[in-house]
Amino acid sequence: MQEVKMKERFDYAKAVEELEAIAAKVEDPQTGIDDIDRYIKRSEELVTACREYLRGARAKLDEMEN
**pLDDT tens, 10-56?**
999 999 999 999 999 999 999 999 999 999 999 999 999 999 999 99
pLDDT at 8 over 80: no
For the segment 58-64, the average pLDDT, to the nearest whole number, is: 92
Q: What is the pTM of this model?
A: 0.80
pLDDT at 4 over 80: no
Torsion of CA 29, 16, 1, 24, to 10 degrees: 10
* First-residue to last-residue Cα distance in the chain: 40
* CA distances (Å), origin 16, targets 30, 51, 66: 23, 11, 30
Q: How many helices (H) and strands (E) does the chain have?
A: 2, 0
Q: Where are the domains of the chain?
A: 12-65
The pLDDT, as a whole number, for residue 3 is 54
